């Protein structure tokens, strides 16, 4: 067992390919070319496993953003992408997916050193997930069509009415740092399938896989200006995109705070906006389950990706009769989820993404303790250079505490008891968020009742955070606006035009 050997928190050596990639200069990808920023400013990128700077990226200026948007605007308006036959667009998106797949190992390593997640997790989840987004949406490129509609107020045969589905235009896509490549492809894929052109801005903390992805754009066959990838800060480069008159749609994933700001800032130009924001997702464990099987599931729901998951199961509700057993079972997973350097082959969890997130999460743990919560597991951080936080369970909490109300975005779960179904449904809904929820029970009726009562975009039964490209994903309440993935995901990149012809 690994739990007896002390963990070596020193990051492992990078491969030569990655060292070469990191040695490139800071560049922006505009019009299928690598270009320098107009003002030469750069941003440092850290490996969270060591806390050390590993490279620098371009800090896009307003002029750089304008240049990228102009490239996307021209590429959209002259029809070099929209005007291609659907099967040609489909084939190019598939080729993009094939190229990504051919470099999967390299992408997994880059994601591991940039975000801090274990390379094995990136290889098992992030990279295949990204490829799957591209492949699923590629097929939609050839399956979008309007309908012929019989008008209501005019006699049959006197008018011909139909709808066309058209791409919304130039998309500004702003993604966070928790699943950098996966989020990038989740945004890029439907936009391209719909016939849009785009400017993607990865998070300043984790820009590297998006930059490596840009290498594959021209090779896949995208005409210049269709996919532009720029790096920079949110309040500068991101904000410029949100307010830019030549951008038709903003797709954002990130904090609820910034999502609200973006929604306000996009108002003057009345852009289409889709927002995928924060959560405080409940995990409900009914008394009929086999606790030995379910407790590891509840642990995975919060500790996967070190809790940096928008649907993290951060509020655990276990029936009073099994509560202590559930907590014991979750606590028993501590060795499995103990954070390790991202290139340690034994890692199932890594450090948090940044010092800022480390301080934020440790601050919540301290606030919980101050407010009277007890620590049933973890509650501390190992002594190391990286941003490691031990998986933590807080009990003796109440619904007023900040640890219960606010998104922590770290490996911290608050556990509460309940007695009956209506009570737990009410408690589960006692939040401004509504992104995901997990229900664990063998009773089919209970499952369906809770699925109906819980106000969230996704409800999982006997699993958690299972995301499939075909199923719509998004939030109720302050967890967002709109849906990504599935048919709903492509719809979010389409306009509907009605055509009425007098015969």
Instruction: Report whether 342 contacts 121 (CB < 8 A).
Output: no
User: Which region, judged by CB under 6 A, interacts with ligand NAI, from 91-99, 106-114, 223-231, 255-263?
Assistant: 255-263
Smaller CB separation from ligand NAI, 92 or 413 = 413
Nearest distance in Å: CB 184, ligand NAI: 10
Interface with ligand NAI (CB under 6 A), residue total 27
Q: Strand pairing of 159-167 and 148-149?
A: antiparallel
206, two tokens: 């984790």
- Nearer of residues 255 and 325 to ligand NAI, judged by Cβ: 255
H or E segment to which residue 420 belongs = none
Quick note: the x/- pattern for ligand NAI over 309-328, rule CB under 6 A, is -x------------------
432 is catalytic: no
Torsional class of 426: left (φ above 0), alpha (ψ -120 to 50), beta (otherwise): alpha
Task: Compare residues 21 and 364 and give the one whose CB is closer to ligand NAI.
Answer: 364
Nearest approach, Cβ of 262 to ligand NAI (angstroms)?
A: 5
Alpha helices (runs of H) in 160-272, residue ranges in sequence order: 180-194, 208-220, 239-243, 256-265
**Contact flags string 281-310 toward ligand NAI, x per CB under 6 A:** -----------------------------x
Q: Which residue is it, tokens 């299972």? A: 466
Backbone φ and ψ of 413, nearest 5°: -120, 140
Judged by CB under 6 A, the stretch of 210-218, 233-241, 313-321, 452-460 that binds ligand NAI is: 233-241
- Is residue 106 within 8 Å of 126, Cβ to Cβ? no
With CA atoms as reference, report the closest residue to 39 among 56, 52, 58, 24: 58
Pairing, β 159-167 against β 494-502: antiparallel
Please identify, using beta-carbon distances, which residue of 223 and 411 lies nearer to ligand NAI: 411
Main-chain phi, psi angles of 232, to 5 degrees = 165, 180
Site for ligand NAI in 33-72 (CB under 6 A): none
Q: Are 495 and 288 in contact (CB under 8 A)?
A: no
Residue from 19, 143, 235, 355 touching ligand NAI (CB under 6 A): that is 235
Which lies closer to ligand NAI via its Cβ, residue 90 or residue 248?
248
Q: How many CA atoms lie within 13 A of 453 on its CB side?
A: 20
Provide, rounded to whole angstroms, the least separation between the CB of residue 486 and ligand NAI. 18
Cβ atoms of residues 466 and 460 within 8 Å: yes
CA–CA distances in Å: residue 206 to residues 4, 115, 119, 259: 33, 6, 15, 19
CB atoms within 10 A of CB 273: 21
Of 223 and 457, which has the nearer Cβ to ligand NAI? 457
The H or E element spanning position 10 is: none
The residue within the footprint of ligand NAI, chosen from 277, 284, 395, 450 (CB under 6 A), is: 277
Taking CB atoms, the residue at the shortest distance from ligand NAI is 234
The piece of 32-40, 77-85, 252-260, 462-470 that touches ligand NAI (CB under 6 A) is: 252-260
Q: Output 137 or 175, the one with its CB closest to ligand NAI.
A: 175
CB-CB contact of 427 with 404 (8 Å)? no
275 near ligand NAI, rule: CB under 6 A: no
Cβ atoms 137, 192 nearer than 8 A:
yes
The single residue of 185, 310, 407, 484 carrying the catalytic annotation is 310
d(C-alpha 36, C-alpha 203), whole Å: 19
Active site residue 276: yes
Q: What is d(CA 147, CA 345) in angstroms, rounded to the nearest whole number?
A: 53
Query: Catalytic one among 46, 111, 276, 407?
Result: 276
Region from 109-117, 248-256, 460-468, 487-495 binding ligand NAI, contact rule CB under 6 A = 248-256
Residues 437-476 that bind ligand NAI (CB under 6 A): none
Nearer to ligand NAI, 169 or 475 (CB): 475
Shortest distance, CB of residue 349 to ligand NAI, whole angstroms?
17
491 contacts 191 by C-beta, under 8 angstroms: no
Q: Which positions ≥6 away from 85 have C-beta within 8 Å?
A: none
Instruction: Name residues contacting ligand NAI, limited to 172-231 (CB under 6 A).
Output: 174-178, 201, 203-204
How many angstroms separate the first and last alpha carbons of the chain?
79
Mask: binding to ligand NAI, 401-420, rule CB under 6 A, as x and -?
------x-x-----------
Given candidates 167, 225, 254, 341, which one binds ligand NAI under the rule CB under 6 A?
A: 254
Q: Which residues bind ligand NAI (CB under 6 A)?
A: 174-178, 201, 203-204, 233-235, 238-239, 242, 253-255, 258, 261-262, 277-278, 310, 357, 360, 407, 409
Q: Which residues are part of the catalytic machinery?
A: 276, 310
């Amino acid at each position: 067992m690994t739990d007896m050997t002390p963990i070596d928190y020193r990051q492992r050596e990078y491969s030569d390919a990655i060292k070469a990639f990191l040695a490139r200069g800071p560049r922006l990808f505009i019009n299928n070319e690598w270009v320098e920023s107009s003002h030469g400013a750069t941003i440092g990128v850290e490996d969270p496993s060591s806390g050390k700077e590993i490279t620098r990226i371009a800090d896009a200026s307003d002029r750089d953003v304008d240049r990228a948007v102009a490239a996307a605007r021209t590429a959209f308006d002259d029809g070099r992408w929209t005007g291609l036959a659907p099967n040609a667009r489909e084939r190019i998106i598939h080729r993009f997916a094939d190229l990504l797949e051919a470099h999967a190992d390299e992408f997994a390593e880059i994601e591991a050193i940039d975000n801090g997640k274990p390379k094995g997790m990136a290889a098992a989840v992030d990279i295949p997930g990204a490829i799957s987004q591209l492949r699923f949406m590629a097929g939609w490129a050839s399956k979008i069509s309007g309908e012929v509609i019989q008008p209501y107020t005019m006699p049959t045969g006197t008018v011909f009415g139909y709808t066309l589905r058209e791409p919304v235009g130039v998309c500004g896509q702003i993604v966070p740092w928790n699943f950098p490549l996966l989020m990038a492809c989740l945004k890029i894929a439907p936009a391209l399938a719909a016939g849009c052109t785009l400017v993607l801005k990865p998070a300043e903390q984790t820009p590297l896989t998006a930059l490596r992805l840009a290498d594959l754009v021209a090779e896949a066959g995208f005409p210049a200006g269709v996919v532009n990838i720029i790096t920079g800060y949110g309040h500068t480069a991101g904000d410029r995109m949100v307010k830019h008159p030549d951008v038709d749609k903003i797709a954002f994933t990130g904090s609820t705070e910034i999502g609200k700001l973006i929604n306000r800032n996009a108002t003057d130009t009345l852009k289409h906006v889709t927002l995928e924001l924060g959560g405080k997702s409940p995990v409900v464990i009914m008394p009929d389950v086999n606790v030995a099987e379910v407790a590891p599931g509840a642990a995975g729901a919060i500790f996967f990706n070190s809790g940096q998951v928008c649907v993290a199961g951060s509020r655990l509700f276990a029936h009073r009769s099994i509560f202590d057993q559930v907590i014991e079972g979750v606590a028993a997973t501590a060795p499995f989820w103990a954070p390790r350097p991202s290139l340690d082959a034994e890692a199932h969890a890594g450090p948090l993404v940044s010092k800022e997130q480390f301080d934020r999460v440790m601050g919540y743990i301290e606030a919980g303790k101050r407010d009277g919560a007890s620590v049933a597991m973890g509650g501390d951080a190992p002594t190391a250079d990286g941003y490691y936080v031990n998986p933590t369970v807080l009990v003796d909490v109440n619904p007023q505490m900040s640890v219960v109300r606010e998104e922590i975005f770290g490996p911290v779960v608050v556990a509460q008891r309940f007695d009956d179904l209506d009570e737990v449904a009410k408690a589960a809904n006692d939040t401004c968020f509504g992104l995901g929820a997990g229900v664990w029970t063998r009773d089919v009726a209970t499952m369906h009742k809770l699925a109906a009562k819980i106000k969230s975009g996704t409800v999982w039964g006997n699993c958690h955070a299972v995301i499939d490209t075909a199923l719509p994903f998004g939030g109720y309440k302050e967890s967002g606006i709109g849906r990504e993935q599935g048919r709903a995901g492509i719809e979010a990149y389409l306009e509907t035009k009605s055509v009425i012809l007098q015969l």
